[in-house]
């Protein structure tokens, strides 16, 4: 029987620390050379960097100057921060310099690791983009690392959501620019809109750039932090810039009416719902029922095909999109929540009337519809960087996709200290209530032991429901989800203190270390409770990786139930059969082998999501070839007619 313990820390993920002797010698050599320069005057460091830049611009390869660039970067880090990098950080940097994704565990110092390849690739003088998952981390890293870069004579910029065009242009003109994939991708699309529909020669583009017409320089180098989140999870949704269309009372009436009309339709009889694709299709009897329903006078001019389409959108909004899981409400606006990270995505809207259907469902003002003006997939955007690399704690699960889509290898970097994380057996329950009671009992036992506990939930709504249960049991705790993204770093930083209980959506606080108090370390470290399995095993590994960093003690355990969100991705009739079977087996905790069902479902969803990304790329490739053949800018949706 398959083990019920979900253990992200396998031998494959923690390579033998004695194995890479050649690379360890390389790292030791870099550090030794940096110490030999301890008496080098500060003003000589930028001069040496300029010498390396001249060599690269004269045609030398990055590999030929890598040792010298890394040595100077390590010297600058020691003089600025007062410590040396670990050998494994230099190994990670070396892997990135060879166009790979460095898989480094949580707490291994990825932020400083990225400095070395950023310095190396900046020698080309064409700009390095360091990409991370949110504005807070981009601004934090740019601010904290700026003294290191400036000691080397390099300039640093940062692009965030609220910046004007001129400030963005200045940020992109720097040697190294920090920002999110969303901001950099949207700036790229806005530049495509400025260039217009017709394809132009590179010389014309340079002139346009020099005249201040464009914000970005050409894409040259991208260093992607949390690469699995940016390049894999976010790649299911293309980057879109929309143009607002004038709203009409007729369309508002249509959305309101559809939201009411769907209450009169019956599943399977009037419509068929595909939960895997989140699509709904009206049946012939359903179409006849919609035709016969009474409609307001404002809808008299709306054709039936449009009404059928909007009925289907309203059903999708009702069936597949839940408040505080897929979106939140703030000041009469629907704000999308990223399903992989649990982060808010302000400014983004669902297309094809879905966003307005959700507004009607929530009885909010109906926003103006948008039409796509420019579009690019995440895959296509990053494929345009001739130099690219990245780092994350969980890359090996997606190494095939990294290689096929981005031509990036995955290199597992050993931990600086042996990982002593322990996984406890997974527990499965027939109901959510039984699971919650078991979580409460486990929490109370852990707090009596003097431990700190991080409880992972899959959505905003789940985190707040669990918070309500903790309040009932009078357990003090902090809650961290998309509603509190502005203070997530402070909340996460307190999660390792004695008696701390922190409820967090799966990815909240990513990029911030949890430091243990001496009492918690002595008691056994941070314990992570995962209250559900995510649709991707990598997200589960990220959550579990929050404990036992840098050789700290730590444990984790999964608590699952037959009412979890993961199983709702299976056909409804199959879920009902499984739940009946489970209720016959036990009214409380189920045998350990039930965990296999969750693993199979997770693998099924991972395959589906990969197919979706692959199909989206294939469609975009065909579209771009067609546009280029007729001489039009392939990124502008408006050119498609």
Same domain, 433 and 576: yes
- Position 522 confidence tier, pLDDT thresholds 50, 70, 90: very high
Question: Among candidates 78, 51, 76, 47, which has minimal Cα distance to 64?
Answer: 51
Same domain, 432 and 538: yes
| Torsion sign across C-alpha atoms 26, 29, 35, 41 | negative
639 annotated ligand binder = no
Task: Give mean pLDDT, residues 92-111.
Answer: 93
DSSP, collapsed to helix, strand or coil, labels residue 323 as strand
Same domain, 348 and 385: no
Longest dimension (CA), the chain: 87
Q: What does the alpha-carbon distance between residue 217 and residue 31 come to, in Å, rounded to a whole number?
A: 34
Q: What share of the chain is helix, strand, coil (3-state, %, to 5)?
A: 50, 15, 35
Quick check: pTM over 0.85?
no
Q: Report yes or no: 155 and 175 within 8 Å, Cβ to Cβ.
A: yes
111 annotated ligand binder = yes
Residue 519 has what pLDDT?
95
Q: What does the alpha-carbon distance between residue 396 and residue 545 come to, in Å, rounded to a whole number?
A: 14
Pairing of strands 333-337, 344-345: antiparallel
Same domain, 46 and 183: yes
Q: Quick check: 125 pLDDT over 70?
A: yes
Residue 11 has what pLDDT?
34
Question: Among candidates 125, 117, 114, which has minimal Cα distance to 53?
Answer: 125
Share of the chain above pLDDT 70, in %: 88
Q: Quick check: 239 pLDDT over 80?
A: yes
Average pLDDT, the chain: 86
Q: What does the alpha-carbon distance between residue 192 and residue 199 come to, in Å, rounded to a whole number?
A: 10
More confident of the two residues 233 and 29:
29
Same domain, 399 and 428: no
To the nearest 10°, the Cα dihedral for 138, 143, 144, 149?
100
Residue 486 has what pLDDT?
56
More confident of the two residues 298 and 1:
298
Task: Give mean pLDDT, residues 73-99.
Answer: 96
Same domain, 58 and 87: yes
Residue 17 has what pLDDT?
44
Residue 159 carries which DSSP code?
-
DSSP, collapsed to helix, strand or coil, labels residue 100 as strand
Share of the chain above pLDDT 90, in %: 53
Same domain, 472 and 555: yes
In this structure, is residue 476 part of a structural domain?
yes
Q: Supply 382's token pair.
A: 């990053």
Same domain, 497 and 534: yes
Q: Quick check: 224 pLDDT over 80?
A: yes
| Torsion sign across C-alpha atoms 322, 326, 329, 333 | negative
How many CB atoms are located within 10 Å of the residue 45 CB?
Answer: 19
Same domain, 162 and 28: yes
Residue 8 has what pLDDT?
43
Identify the weakest region by mean pLDDT among 144-148, 222-226, 427-431, 629-633: 629-633
- Position 117 confidence tier, pLDDT thresholds 50, 70, 90: very high
Q: Quick check: 21 pLDDT over 80?
A: no
DSSP, collapsed to helix, strand or coil, labels residue 108 as coil
Question: Among candidates 319, 316, 324, 325, which has minimal Cα distance to 355?
Answer: 316
Q: Supply 269's token pair.
A: 């009889």
* C-alpha to C-alpha distances, 305 to 178, 245, 299, nearest whole angstrom: 47, 20, 13
Q: Which residue has the tokens 């260039």?
A: 195
89 annotated ligand binder = yes
Task: Give mean pLDDT, residues 236-253.
Answer: 78
Residue 290 has what pLDDT?
94
- Number of residues in the chain: 641
Question: Among candidates 446, 444, 445, which has minimal Cα distance to 475?
Answer: 444
Task: Give mean pLDDT, residues 133-137.
Answer: 84
- Position 1 confidence tier, pLDDT thresholds 50, 70, 90: very low
What residues make up the domain containing 472? Answer: 422-596
Q: Quick check: 483 pLDDT over 90?
A: no
Same domain, 428 and 402: no
In this structure, is residue 627 part of a structural domain?
no
CA 256 to chain centre: 34
CATH number at residue 579: 3.40.50.300
In this structure, is residue 619 part of a structural domain?
no
Q: Quick check: 639 pLDDT over 50?
A: no
Q: What does the alpha-carbon distance between residue 148 and residue 422 come to, in Å, rounded to a whole number?
A: 37
* C-alpha to C-alpha distances, 465 to 235, 286, 321, 468, nearest whole angstrom: 30, 36, 18, 5
250 annotated ligand binder = no
Q: Report yes or no: 526 and 516 within 8 Å, Cβ to Cβ.
A: yes
| Interior angle at CA 389, CA 383 and CA 393, nearest 5 | 120
In this structure, is residue 251 part of a structural domain?
yes
Q: Report yes or no: 343 and 333 within 8 Å, Cβ to Cβ.
A: no
Instruction: Quick: pLDDT tens for 302-325.
Output: 899 999 999 999 999 999 998 888
Pairing of strands 427-429, 452-457: unpaired
Same domain, 389 and 440: no
Question: Among candidates 609, 570, 621, which has minimal Cα distance to 634?
Answer: 621
107 annotated ligand binder = yes
* C-alpha to C-alpha distances, 441 to 126, 173, 348, 445, 540, nearest whole angstrom: 57, 56, 40, 6, 22
Counting the structural domains of the chain, the total is 3
Instruction: Quick: pLDDT tens for 442-463.
Output: 999 999 999 999 999 887 778 8
Burial class (CB in 10 A: 0-12, 13-18, 19+), 177: buried
In this structure, is residue 628 part of a structural domain?
no
Q: Supply 142's token pair.
A: 């740019």
Task: Give mean pLDDT, residues 488-493.
Answer: 74
In this structure, is residue 199 part of a structural domain?
yes
289 annotated ligand binder = no
How far the first Cα of the chain sits from its last, in Å, is 57
Q: What does the alpha-carbon distance between residue 34 and residue 76 come to, in Å, rounded to a whole number?
A: 9
CATH number at residue 340: 3.90.1440.10
Q: What does the alpha-carbon distance between residue 183 and residue 239 come to, in Å, rounded to a whole number?
A: 10
Task: Give mean pLDDT, residues 532-536.
Answer: 89
Task: Give mean pLDDT, residues 203-212.
Answer: 55
Residue 510 has what pLDDT?
63
In this structure, is residue 524 part of a structural domain?
yes
**Exposure b/e, 552-568, CB count within 10 A at least 16 = b:** bbbbbbbbbbbbbbbbe
Q: Quick check: 207 pLDDT over 60?
A: no
Same domain, 235 and 339: no
- What are the residue ranges of helices labelled H in 114-201? 115-122, 135-151, 165-172, 181-195
Residue 22 has what pLDDT?
65
Q: What does the alpha-carbon distance between residue 541 and residue 557 come to, in Å, rounded to a whole number?
A: 12
Instruction: Quick: pLDDT tens for 562-615.
Output: 999 888 888 878 888 888 888 877 778 999 899 999 999 999 988 888 888 888
Q: Quick check: 2 pLDDT over 50?
A: no
In this structure, is residue 484 part of a structural domain?
yes
* Close Cβ partners of 126 (under 8 Å, ≥ 6 residues apart): 217, 218, 220, 221
């Amino acid at each position: 029987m398959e083990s019920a313990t979900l253990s992200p820390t396998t031998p494959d993920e923690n390579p033998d620390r004695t194995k890479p002797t050649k690379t360890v010698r390389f790292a030791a050599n870099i550090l030794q050379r940096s110490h030999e320069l301890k008496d080098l005057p500060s003003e000589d460091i930028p001069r040496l960097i300029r010498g390396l830049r001249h060599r690269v611009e004269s045609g030398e390869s990055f590999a030929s100057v890598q040792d010298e660039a890394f040595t100077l970067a390590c010297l600058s880090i020691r003089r600025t921060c007062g410590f040396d990098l670990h050998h494994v950080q230099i190994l990670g940097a070396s892997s990135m310099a060879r166009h790979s994704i460095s898989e480094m565990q949580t707490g291994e110092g990825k932020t400083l690791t990225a400095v070395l390849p950023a310095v190396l690739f900046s020698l080309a003088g064409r700009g390095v983009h360091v990409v991370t998952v949110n504005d807070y981390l981009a601004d934090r890293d740019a601010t904290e690392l700026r003294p290191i870069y400036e000691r080397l004579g390099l300039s640093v910029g940062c692009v965030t959501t609220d910046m004007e065009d001129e400030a963005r242009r200045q940020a992109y003109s720097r040697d190294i620019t920090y920002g999110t994939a969303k901001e950099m991708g949207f700036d790229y699309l806005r530049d495509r809109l400025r260039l217009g529909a017709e394809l132009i020669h590179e010389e014309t583009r340079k002139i346009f750039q020099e005249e201040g017409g464009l914000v970005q320089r050409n894409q040259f180098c991208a260093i992607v932090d949390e690469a699995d989140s940016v390049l894999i999870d976010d790649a299911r949704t293309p980057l879109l810039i929309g143009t607002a269309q004038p709203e009409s009372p007729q369309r508002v009436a249509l959305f309101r009416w559809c939201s009411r009309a769907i209450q009169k339709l019956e599943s399977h009889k009037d419509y068929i719902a595909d939960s895997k694709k989140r699509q709904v299709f009206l049946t012939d009897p359903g179409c006849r029922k919609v035709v016969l329903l009474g409609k307001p006078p404002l809808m008299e001019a709306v054709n039936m095909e449009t009404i059928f389409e909007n009925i289907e959108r309203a059903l999708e909004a009702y069936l597949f999109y839940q408040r505080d899981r897929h979106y939140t409400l703030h000041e009469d606006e629907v704000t999308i929540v990223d399903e992989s990270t649990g982060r808010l995505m302000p400014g983004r809207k669902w297309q094809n009337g879905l966003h307005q259907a959700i507004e009607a469902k929530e009885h909010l003002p109906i926003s103006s519809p948008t039409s796509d003006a420019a579009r690019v997939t995440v895959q296509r955007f990053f494929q345009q960087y001739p130099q690219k690399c990245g780092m994350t704690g969980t890359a090996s699960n997606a190494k095939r996709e990294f290689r096929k889509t981005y031509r990036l290898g995955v290199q597992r970097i050993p931990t600086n200290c042996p990982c002593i994380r322990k996984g406890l057996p997974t527990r499965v329950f027939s109901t959510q209530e039984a699971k919650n009671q078991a979580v409460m009992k486990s929490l109370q036992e852990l707090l009596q032991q003097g431990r700190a506990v991080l409880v992972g939930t899959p959505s905003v709504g789940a985190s707040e429901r669990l918070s309500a249960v903790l309040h009932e049991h009078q357990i003090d705790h902090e809650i961290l989800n998309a509603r509190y993204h502005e203070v997530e770093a402070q909340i996460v930083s307190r999660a390792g203190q004695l008696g701390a209980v922190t409820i967090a959506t799966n990815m909240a606080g990513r990029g911030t270390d949890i430091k243990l108090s001496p009492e918690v370390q002595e008691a056994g470290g941070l314990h992570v409770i995962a209250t559900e399995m995510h649709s991707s095993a990598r997200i589960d590994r990220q959550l579990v990786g929050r404990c036992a960093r840098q050789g700290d003690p730590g444990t984790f355990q999964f608590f699952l139930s037959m009412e979890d969100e993961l199983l709702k991705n299976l056909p409804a009739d199959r879920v009902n059969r499984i739940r009946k079977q489970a209720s016959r087996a036990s009214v409380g905790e189920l045998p350990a082998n039930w965990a296999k069902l969750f693993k199979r479902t997770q693998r099924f969803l991972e395959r589906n999501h990969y197919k979706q990304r692959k199909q989206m790329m294939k469609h975009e490739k065909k579209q771009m070839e067609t546009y280029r053949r007729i001489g039009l800018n392939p990124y502008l949706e408006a050119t498609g007619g």
